[in-house]
Amino acid sequence: MTFDVFAVDATLVSDAERMAFDAFPRLVGAGSAQARAEAAVAFADILGCPGEFRQYALGPQAERLVRIERLLRIFRENVELLVHKTWVEKTDEKRKEKHLEELLAFERDFRDGQVMPAFRRFVSLARSLAQLLFGAQSRADDFLLYCFRIEPKLGLFFWYVGELEVQAREAETAAPPADELLTMETLIGIYVLSSF
């Protein structure tokens, strides 16, 4: 049984979080750019603050690009701050340095329109950030339950990252999802991590 089915059956999440489990498939299955953007806004409204993500997904492209550029800067600054503020053993300092290098590589790929590499780097960044923040717990079988107990939106975010990981693995053996979907999914992740 998948976590979202378990959580809904066990009523471990609120109605808003339960809505996320329904909204994500609508995002993935949207048939047009407009429908995908609207589904992304609905999904991001659950993970973040309602109404904030709309400016990155809908509206005139020139305005969106300026806003996305600003969001990318905030994302980089927030992740750098999280990495620098995270206490680790002296032996783990190299992991922090590698995380910062990956952050810059992600930003470069995203700006250059290298959609699949940026998508994969984002997933990797989110996973390594979890490891920096939660240590060995981030690899435990009950990590999602742990996150949901700490903060339901944190649990939803890492559930979302898990769904993106599945897409990345499936893209290795099948046709990858459309660049438009991967870009929108990456933007949602950037938006959420920019809010931490």
Place of tokens 């609207």: 38
The pTM for the full model equals: 0.89
pLDDT attached to residue 19: 85
- Determine whether 46 is exposed, middle or buried from the number of CB atoms within 10 Å of its CB (0-12, 13-18, 19+): buried
> For residue 64, which of 167, 176, 187, 148 has the smallest C-alpha distance?
187
Half-sphere exposure of 119 (CA within 13 A, CB side): 25
pLDDT at 139 over 50: yes
Kindly state the DSSP code that residue 137 receives in the 8-state scheme.
G
Residue 12 binned pLDDT confidence (cut-offs 50, 70, 90):
low
Q: Which two tokens stand for residue 142?
A: 């009950």
pLDDT at 37 over 60: yes
Parent domain of 156? 3-195
Dihedral sign for Cα atoms in the order 166, 179, 27, 50: positive
* Alpha-carbon torsion angle 106, 119, 115, 118, nearest 10: 10
C-alpha–C-alpha distance, residues 122 and 194, integer Å: 13
- Residue-wise pLDDT for 75-118, tens only, equals 999 999 888 877 666 766 777 888 899 999 999 999 999 999 99
> For residue 13, which of 157, 131, 193, 135 has the smallest C-alpha distance?
157
pLDDT attached to residue 1: 38
The number of residues making up the chain comes to 196
- What percentage of the chain's residues is helix, strand, coil (to nearest 5)? 80, 0, 20
Which element (helix H / strand E) includes 21? helix 15-29
Tell me how many domains the chain contains.
Answer: 1
